[in-house]
Structure 1
Amino acid sequence: MESAPKQHPNKGKAIWEVLLVSTKLGLTSFGGPIAHLGYFHHEYIHKRKWLDEKSYADLVALCQFLPGPASSQVGIGIGTLRAGLLGGAAAWLGFTMPSILILLFFSLVMKTIDVSNSGWIHGLKIVAVAIVAQAIFGMGKKLASTKSTATIAIAAASITLVWQAVFSQVLIIVLAGLLGVWAFKTASAQETSHIQVNVHRYLAIACLLSYVLLLFLLPILNGLGHSPLLALFDSFYRVGSLVFGGGHVVLPLLEREMVPQGWTSKEVFLAGYGAAQAVPGPLFTFATYLGAMFSGIKGAIVGTLAIFLPAYLLIVGALPFWNALRSNPSIQGALVSINAAVVGILLAALYNPLWTTAILHTSDFIVALLLFGLLVFWKLPPWIIVLLGAAAGEAISYL
């Protein structure tokens, strides 16, 4: 059965409407990707009825299947279905711009202070420990709860910790996918339904080819040239292309790109990650902060565009082919194994760099434990956890 999204009769007005609504969501959507999907459902489906319930569920499933920031891709998908390609771009711009501007401002603050001995900066690093532990707790129950998937997660964590190379995590994800095709290929495919998409298949194929070509050509161009911004674009595009499992997984991939090369210090990196938890919108705008710390406003623009470009190319390219993709048992099996490996990669990041950098004394562990409890069991929003963690870090510095 084919489900047609509700389209606006005037394309120009539709794009403007998408921009306004997505900006409202970008200003108010706190709490991470799962919370974002709830905000989207209320605004786009319940209130405005741009899609029906089944179409929205199918779109969410597609974006969970693809690498990249799932909530941003859902927004891009809804904008594309509502107002075409420019509608998708408007949805991304509105949803991400508030977070971009806040983190850009934070980067300017960070450049004017000495972070090495700041108590509140240490508190933000403890916050990062608690939030990533919460992500692992939730993802592990869902994605690595069987003997087989838990074994894959443990193996991925161990290999990641032992093999500290830039491409190690990429190779782990690829190997996990190949293992999943063999080990989980009998996994039942989800029920399929059709979403009517006004994106021509030729354009979709062009987007997918562009995604692949950039992934392979950018490292070559970077090797031939000597441009720091091209190197940044290459690194962030690769990260955006290979992040499975949600925004938190961007942490270990970006850390491998930034810290070993000396582009930023662990302290500056983790402080920004902690601050990114306090702002609305997608966690991927952490790249804005890192780009700004690397090369000012130009670096912020390059880093932001590079990390989100794969998400746009993939969602536009995949929408017309979604039904065939999700009914393929081999692809479903690969995804099962990849998701388990992602849990392991995130578990390794919880130890190094987070734990080894933030948990230096008993008091640090106590604060992390309390923040974790407030997140998981008391369900406090992340922005409150960030404020509490920064205050606790400052208090510890006086002990």
Structure 2
Amino acid sequence: MIWTLFKTFFLLGCTSFGGPAAHLGYFRQHFVERLKWVDEAQYAQWIAISQVMPGPGSSQVGFAIGHHQAGIMGGVAAFVGFTLPSVILMCLFAMFGALFVEAQWFGNVVSALKLMAVVIVADAAIGMYRSFCTSWPLKIAALFGGAFVLVWPFGLAGLYLVLAAVLLGALLPSSQRAPLEAQTATSLKPANLLLLLFFALLGLSTLVKDNGVLGMMAEFYQSGSFVFGGGHVVLPLINEFVSSDVSTSQVLTGYAAAQAVPGPMFTIATYLGAISAPAGQSILWALTATLAIFLPGLLLMLVGQSYWRFFSRYPRALNAIKYVNAAVVGLLVATLVFPIIPASVTAYWQIPVVGVAFVWLQRFKPAIWQVISVFLVGAITASLV
């Protein structure tokens, strides 16, 4: 099972363009609809947990899927598999520069994969809407949730939205009973130990004054500990924490590269670690920076899952979960409206392309590799014309 998890997530890591919201769409299409490893409700809960915990949202959800299937080693296999392609590409970019960035075929491929991300996220939003917005109060919660994120398009918007949904659901009366498996006593001791470890490492990182690999590791651990919302929100915090080691221009170059490659955008740390390393130590520094920025979010995902299971024994908590699921639908729709569509659909002729692809995905449910193949063939064909 460990090898299956690694292989599955590695293939997704090679093809998951479009940022965190698009990654969540790929995961849902693959693990909820096709493989049926998890159900819709569990998947939505992981998304909600990733919104209230700092760290890379899509990587946290992928880690949770792996952990759900095969424990800690399954989570590690899923994380390494999904992250490895991006890490390799960012290391190559740091070492050899942007040799292909100006090529027309490269630009066409990136544009095509961005259009595919629009289709995948739209499909995920529709599917989750059908599953979770089953009453008018839940539909209204999703509508207001999406509107809130659009009005407040900042990193903490997802956190505030989920907390508001929890409060609303907890205050409203509910007759729903917890399922039998949720009524089993859940120990919070492992979660509390992990939480203690997170804060201990955070405290130690503030004391490190080293200019070498330990100092860099401390800076990236702090960055990963304070990024709510993931994705694009990582840029200002990384720029703040590592500005003494690399220039703003280098940070922006790494950010642009992270958007151009598949996988999590947190691998900007891979690039920055590689370019700031002494001669002959690029790989070591790149891997150290990568581990440091991802570790806080993965630790907190384990903590969040334990607390979620503990509180799901209570009827009001279950009602809160219903409203959180509806709020997640609104969050996905808002992310689709901005920034995914404006960044991806840049010409009028692309609108019918997206429409046709969306209908194809909705009606025939093709595999991810088939969708990717069609968009890649279209991009390469356009380059040859």
The TM-score bracket by the shorter chain reads 0.5 to 0.7
C-alpha distance in 1, partners of 2:136/2:32? 30
Q: Is the 8 A contact 1:189 1:329 kept in 2?
A: yes
Q: Is the 8 A contact 1:22 1:94 kept in 2?
A: yes
Give the structure 1 partner of residue 27 of structure 2: 32
1:363 equivalent to 2:354? Answer no
Q: Is the 8 A contact 1:128 1:270 kept in 2?
A: no
Give the structure 2 partner of residue 67 of structure 1: 49
Structure 2 counterpart SS, 1:309: helix
How far off its partner does 1:352 sit? Answer: 1.5
Give the structure 1 partner of residue 332 of structure 2: 346
RMSD: 4.1
Show the 5 A alignment for 1:155-166: 155-166=144-155
Q: Is the 8 A contact 1:233 1:302 kept in 2?
A: yes
C-alpha distance in 2, partners of 1:381/1:264? 34
For structure 2, the residue ranges without an aligned partner over 5 or more in a row are 13-25, 51-59, 240-247, 275-285
Q: Is the 8 A contact 2:48 2:324 kept in 1?
A: no
1:144 equivalent to 2:144? Answer no
How far off its partner does 1:397 sit? Answer: 5.7
Letter of the 1:257 counterpart: V
1:206 equivalent to 2:193? Answer yes
C-alpha distance in 2, partners of 1:76/1:378? 30
Report the TM-score, using the length of structure 2 for normalisation. 0.68
C-alpha distance in 2, partners of 1:144/1:225? 51
Give the structure 1 partner of residue 361 of structure 2: 375
For structure 1, the residue ranges without an aligned partner over 5 or more in a row are 1-20, 43-55, 81-87, 243-251, 277-285
C-alpha distance in 2, partners of 1:390/1:347? 25
Q: How many residues get paired?
A: 325
Give the structure 1 partner of residue 181 of structure 2: 193
1:103 equivalent to 2:92? Answer no
Report the TM-score, using the length of structure 1 for normalisation. 0.66
Gap change, CA 1:256 and 1:96, over 3 Å in 2: closer
Show the 5 A alignment for 1:264-343: 264=252, 268-272=257-261, 275-276=262-263, 286-287=264-265, 289-296=267-274, 297=286, 298-315=288-305, 317-318=306-307, 322=309, 325-343=311-329
C-alpha distance in 1, partners of 2:134/2:367? 26
Letter of the 2:80 counterpart: M
Letter of the 1:308 counterpart: L
Structure 1, residues 299-340: CA drift from partner, whole Å, max 9, x if none? 33233323322223334x44xx94x52221221122222222
How far off its partner does 1:171 sit? Answer: 1.5
Structure 1 counterpart SS, 2:364: coil
Gap change, CA 1:139 and 1:233, over 3 Å in 2: farther
Structure 1, residues 236-274: CA drift from partner, whole Å, max 9, x if none? 4456xx7xxxxxxxxx642233379685578645543xx
Gap change, CA 1:294 and 1:130, over 3 Å in 2: farther
1:175 equivalent to 2:157? Answer no
Give the structure 2 partner of residue 50 of structure 1: none
